[in-house]
Chains A and B, each alone.
Chain A
Amino acid sequence: MAGQENSLLSGYRVLDLTDEKGQLCGKLLGDLGADVIKVEPPGGDPARNNGPFHKDIPHPEKSLFWFYTNLHKRSITLNLDTSDGKDIFQKLVKTTDFVVESFEPGYMASLGLGYAELEKINPRIIMTSITPFGQTGPYAHYKATDIVGVAMGGMVYIYGEMDRPPNRLSCPQFYFLGGLHGATGSMVAHYYRELTGEGQHVDVSCQQAVVLSLMIVAEIWDMLKYSYRGMGPFYAGARPGGSPLFSQVIYPCKDGHVFLLVTGASQAGMISSSQALVEMANKEGIAFELKDYPWQTIDAATINQEELTRLTDAIAEFIKTKTKAELSSLALERGILLAPITTVKDVVESPQFAARGFWQEVEHPELGAAITYPGYPIKMSEAPYQVQRRAPFIGEHNEEVYEKELGFSKQQLGILKSCGVI
């Protein structure tokens, strides 16, 4: 019933009250073997309406988004707004290690189920709250969707074309980041509890999680007072006292695009990468002017724009003549700092993921199908990854939890059902 034998978190229980804002957190704890119980309002979690859907049929039991973020979990329905619902929840908290929630700040406390109350029921409890901006502060009650959240975290401004508004990534990241950092904070608190027996409250800001993903964008401002902005296919390197240096990094090739670094000599592998590239181009009669080019003298702080553009234009001529696959093999063989721009189809067909055993088949008997999921990105020598179960149907485990574990009779469950508790 609980997590798998060898799993790192087997025997630990999570009550997951989140909607789309925090669902990844429980999924990640389930990846490590925790017994995660999704607590849904009667009628089901609203995130079940998030697309895409299985065979494009919009239905709460067919959301592919929900399938992924609720893998491993069991589901019970419970209406926390009723007194019976609260009572049952408090009973469950006694045997629970983690409560994860993503309600508006203050909501759980208004039900009498805030951390202060849960701690009295179970001092070992870890309560993780995942919200767009955190539990307190001037924006604590601001609403955020993905695009609003990543914009506020600084991630939109750094992507874009020069002649258009900055843009977001076309696959939502804001709440995945919150769920990931929620799992991290939960585990730090878990370690402390294992040492001391004491639980605590983990207050996650998805906005901060975005800021932490910006690489050196904040640091560039701190050092140089330059706010990095997306500039089409270029990196726009900040140069004190001068205009930014535009280095082309996206190049069209025969059947798509590749990413390629031809910048200063400051990065490991840069010089040999450029030499190998020119050698390959020369073999095909291209970029002769760059034969024996002194790559080691390039300094991103001083090279002039015309010179760098001359270099990248010559190399672009060679890239145009090759396919993604040809260029990727060259990169692999010769240590060239190049990567193909892949689509999801390329990803699924790549021999690398298959060789690592990354993909996981999950049976969905009710759909008459097995669906292949992205697996776990870490191989652990002593705790092989296991999918515990497909995502649950609404209230699929009511009987298991309410009757077998909490000891309610069928008649009592009937009463709870009829008054909208479960």
Chain B
Amino acid sequence: MTGQVFAGLKVADFSWVGAGPQIARELAYYGATVVRIECHRWPETTRTAGPFKDGITGINRSAFTAAYNVNKYGISLDLNMPKGQEIAKKLVQWADIVSDSMSVGAMAKWGLDYESCKKIKPEIIYFSTTQMGQHGPYNKIKGYGFIGVSYAGYSHLNGWPDRDPLPLFNNYSDFISPYYLITALIAALIRKRKTGKGMYLDQSQVEVGVSFLAPSILDYMVNGRVACRMGNRDTYVAPHGVFPCSGTDCWVAIAITNDEEWQSFCSAIGNPDWTKDARFSTMLGRKGNEDDLEELIAEWTGNYTADQVMTMLQEAGVPAGVVQKAEDLFNDPQLKHREHFRFLEHSEIGPHAYQSPAYRLSKTPCSITKAAPCLGEDNEYVYKKILGLSDDEVADLLIEGVITTDTDMPEALQSK
């Protein structure tokens, strides 16, 4: 494992669903040993929500679960049974980091909250990430990432001024929260190397969402302005929008931020007469007449594919980009160059795509080698090799149902 940044670092990963598991995934990309604890009796949402391989449901067939648990070991354990809690505590004893994204109070119920874990291992670093954080009047709220994007103010800023707010299918705050936590977590690890002391980190995902809207928040705090959705318009720039291209539901985004880019744009599209219209010769003029201007631009873009428009304008130094669909991302030559998607063989899904970090480290590249585990796939390795249980002990745990093998999933969702 030479060159692996986190080689030897051990994580007991009790997190689940979207935001939590991405945190230990980042450490696992760079060599940490991560054991993820799950249970067949209440399989987590991502295992039952799909997308499933070929659309066929099954507890091990969801790419949702796979995406955030690559490079991890997976075990099945019933934390509601006293013996399950005993095993979990052995994992805490083994670990440097405990990861929790359960509802507030769940880990305490199992004797696995920070205070309890600290008694088992005083130098443990323990983090909790939940929608609202551990404290406050809304701390027990139920829900997924939609809580984050709704309560933080995102939906209100998504859509058109003359229409209702729109949902964010991607539960956006679930996908920025992990990176805030990783930066603080690594700083806490370094502190532990220097002082020998552990720490508790308590994240509110809604607060992360609010942080990413800071300019609008400050605009309200100082100027009393309540930001509203504005389609594809921008307060300061015109033209600024998404324009139709040839093909079905194909679009290109264009933003012209100054006079120089405007001149380049005009010559790139062959200086048609309308570009000489005096109304469009200044930024204030373009902004003041943006309805007309954008209509004229749309007439031009409609003659080309989005890719052609992007290439023509970028070559002229004008910011333009294809409104890429999921399919386009897999064919994007830049993402290919960066090896953004990595393909691994999953034991039930078969070969499929995993995403890599957004940054490239020049000396210690990430290493994405182990497809996400099926539920309990690594029981043998973890219970015997890591925790040192004997064959008999493991057999007893299986018979007693502490290591789970049976699911309570709705029948329709079980593996066929």
Contact = CB atoms under 8 A, between A and B. Distances in A.
B49 A267 contact: yes
A343 B358 contact: no
A184 interface: yes
A62 B355 CA distance: 40
Interface string A356-369: 10100000000001
A219 B61 CA distance: 12
Interface in A164-214: 164-173, 176-178, 180-185, 187-192, 194-195, 198, 200-209, 211-214
B278 interface: no
B200 interface: yes
A161 interface: yes
A170 B229 contact: yes
Nearest to A351: B137
B361 A52 contact: no
A387 interface: no
Interface in A52-83: 52, 54-56, 64-65, 67-69
Given A230-B166, A347-B210, A213 B327 contact: no
B166 A154 contact: no
Contacts of A160: 159, 166
A223 B52 contact: yes
B334 A352 contact: no
Contact of A149 (B180, B252, B321): B321
A54 B358 CA distance: 34
Interface stretch (A133-141, A304-312, A403-411): A133-141
Contact of B153 (A164, A192, A344): A344
Contact of A342 (B139, B152, B322, B325): B152
Interface in B187-236: 187-191, 193, 197, 199-208, 210-223, 225-232, 234-236
A151 interface: yes
A213 B237 contact: no
B44 interface: yes
Contact of A356 (B44, B63, B204, B230): B204
Contact of B54 (A166, A190, A223, A233): A223
Interface string A327-366: 0000110011111111111111011110110100000000
Given A169-B168, A188-B361, A344-B227, 6 more contacts: A64-B218, A134-B360, A152-B332, A153-B324, A203-B362, A222-B51
A138 B5 contact: no
A143 interface: yes
Interface stretch (A285-293, A376-384, A394-402, A414-422): A376-384
Given A8-B184, A217-B326, A377-B177, A382 B158 contact: no
A379 B202 contact: yes
Nearest to A177: B176
B359 A203 contact: yes
Contact of A67 (B63, B218, B364): B218
A266 B167 contact: no
Contacts of A227: 325-328
Given A156-B323, A181-B179, A217-B169, A371 B193 contact: no
Interface string B110-143: 0000000000000000000000111111111111
A-B CB proximity, top 3 nearest = A240-B55, A185-B359, A137-B337
A268 to B, nearest CB: 5
A224 interface: yes
B107 interface: no
Contacts of A44: none
B204 A157 contact: no
Contacts of A336: 142
B63 A219 contact: yes
Nearest to B168: A159
B251 A165 contact: yes
B253 interface: yes
A170 B212 CA distance: 12
B13 to A, nearest CB: 18
Interface stretch (B85-93, B239-247, B373-381): B239-247
B270 to A, nearest CB: 21
Contact of B67 (A68, A219, A355): A219
Contacts of B217: 344, 347-348, 373-374
Contacts of A55: 222-223
Interface in A7-43: 8-9, 28-29, 32
Contacts of A382: 188, 191, 197, 199
Given A194-B190, A252-B164, A378-B201, A352 B136 contact: yes
Interface string A209-253: 101111111111111111111101111001111000000011010
Interface stretch (B71-79, B283-291, B311-319, B396-404): B311-319
A289 B141 CA distance: 28
Contacts of B133: 356, 379
A91 to B, nearest CB: 24
Interface stretch (A105-113, A294-302, A315-323): A294-302
A185 B232 contact: no
Contacts of A121: none
B273 interface: no
Nearest to B44: A268
B175 A215 contact: yes
Of the listed residues B137, B217, B251, the one surrounded by the most CB atoms of chain A closer than 10 A to its CB is B217
A235 B167 contact: yes
A249 B255 contact: no
B242 A165 contact: yes
Of B52, B67, B210, B328, the most chain A CB neighbours within 10 A belong to B210
Nearest to B146: A259
A369 B320 CA distance: 40
Given A185-B359, A337-B143, A166 B182 contact: no
A299 B49 CA distance: 10
Contact of B361 (A146, A189, A226, A252): A189
A55 B222 CA distance: 7
A340 B150 contact: yes
B280 interface: no
B344 to A, nearest CB: 12
27 contacts: A8-B188, A64-B222, A128-B359, A153-B324, A157-B251, A157-B324, A159-B168, A161-B160, A171-B157, A171-B227, A184-B357, A188-B359, A202-B359, A206-B358, A211-B358, A221-B327, A221-B329, A222-B352, A227-B325, A227-B327, A257-B165, A266-B410, A337-B142, A374-B214, A374-B217, A380-B184, A382-B197
A56 to B, nearest CB: 6
Given A64-B222, A355-B135, A187 B215 contact: no
A96 B164 CA distance: 49
A377 B211 contact: yes
Contact of B235 (A51, A128, A134, A371): A51
Given A143-B314, A147-B255, A180-B179, A152 B324 contact: yes
B6 interface: yes
A182 B361 CA distance: 11
Contacts of A358: 204, 207, 210
A170 B227 contact: yes
A69 B218 CA distance: 12
Contacts of B323: 151, 156-157, 165-166
